[in-house]
Structure 1
Amino acid sequence: MKKDTIETLFENLEGTFDVHQTPHGHEKRFMDRLNAQQESKLSRNWWKPLSIAASVVIILVLGFTFLKSPEQSRELASVSPEMEQTQTFFVSAINNEIDKLKSFETPETKAMIDDALNRITNLEEEYQQLKLDLVESGNDKRVIYAMIANFQNRIDLLEQVVSIVEEVKTLKTNENEITI
């Protein structure tokens, strides 16, 4: 029978094996290096769980912040069904007046219209503050009246500017007419 291949391999490699003794303290140096590598891996392994925990905390904080946001400001419509109708009426009237105002925009009236829209933006910012005040005051009637007055001021401003722009348009048309 043929000799086993492993036996043949060892017979061929006989005399080439390294059989000398390892230097004194080799095992200690090897173990020190191995322990140092394991300690550095352990210190690096803490960053992953720590970063994951920090991410979870940030997500939770943002989540709670966004959940609390709707409670921090309330619309006029949240007071009663009548106030909801009032708010709907004012918002649609304001939007209609803004659309009408924008339709009259010409180079002569652009500055006046832009100024009016800036004042509307300021009134809207005041309304946002009133929404916060409504929550803090617990539906105080004075805050509700101030919110309604804010809507009325916006409509009055828009109507006033629309009438002035219409006047300018009429004057421009009259100047361009030829009289015989």
Structure 2
Amino acid sequence: MSEKLENFIKSNKPDFDNYEVPAGLWDKLDKQLDEHCKAQEKLNRRIKFYNFSRIAAIFIVVLAFGFLWGKYQKEEAIKLENINPVYAAKEVQFSSLIADKRAELKDLKKVDPQLYQTFKEEQTKLDEEYKLLKKELLTSPNQDRIVKAMIRNLQSQIDLLNQQLNITKEVKQFKATENETTI
């Protein structure tokens, strides 16, 4: 291929010598190159700005989401002690008492699983009512009334657990006397 080119140049050399490069050609090429470089720089700046804008938009969205989530969490966390400190203390006291009594009832699971399951279902009903009251507390205009209902529910749970513990004792005594009579 280079041989063909050399032959072409040699054969047409006089024609090439007849023509001269126009006077402003190199200046014109230099100017076009500068314009192209400036256009490329401008495009690069636009791309950088676009990328920066995307990052800023993502940051703003994440920040807004965090703010809204924090606000929602704060609303969710309406504390009982802010509404009524006396009832808050009762809630803590009753909740720990309920936890203790439920732990005592777990022994029944080994002795009479069916009875334990029945007791557990009754406890679950009251516990679900308590959770509903707690949700209602967030939206209710009469929060004091809801708090009183929550405390009554906790008292009912304690009463139920006391009855269940009494039944458990009676069942254990009955089984103990039954074992003595069979021996």
TM range (shorter): 0.5 to 0.7
Measure the CA separation in 2 of the matches of 1:151 and 1:88.
Answer: 10
Relative contact order higher in (CA < 8 Å, ≥ 6 apart): 1
Is structure 2 residue 159 aligned with structure 1 residue 153?
Answer: no
CA distance in 1, matches of 2:177, 2:52: 77
Amino acid at match of 2:103: D
Is 2:118 the counterpart of 1:115? no
Aligned to 2:96: 92
Alpha-carbon deviations, 1:42-86, whole Å to 9, x = none?
Answer: 235422343234324422442353245334553443334432332
Q: Which runs of 5+ in 2 are unaligned?
A: 1-20
Task: Calculate percent identity across the aligned residue pairs.
Answer: 20
Which residue is 1:3 aligned to?
none
Q: Is the 8 A contact 1:98 1:158 kept in 2?
A: yes
Deviation at 1:102, TM superposition (A): 2.5
Residues of 2 paired with 1:87 and 1:114: CA distance? Answer: 21
Q: 1:25 to 1:97 in 2, by over 3 A?
A: same
TM-score, length basis structure 1: 0.61
User: Where in structure 2 are the equivalents of 1:131-170 lying within 5 Å?
Assistant: 131-133=137-139, 136-141=140-145, 143-170=146-173
Bigger fraction of residues in helix: 2
Partner of 1:8: none
Query: Contact (CA 8 Å) 2:78, 2:138: kept in 1 or not?
Result: yes
In the superposition, relative to structure 1, how do residues 90 and 50 fare at CA in structure 2: closer, same or farther (>3 Å)?
same
Whether 2:130 is the aligned partner of 1:127: answer no
Match of 1:13 in 2: none
Q: Is the 8 A contact 2:123 2:157 kept in 1?
A: no
Count of residue pairs brought into register by the alignment:
157
Match of 1:43? 47
**Which residues of structure 1 form unaligned runs of 5+?**
1-19
Q: TM-score, normalised by structure 2?
A: 0.60
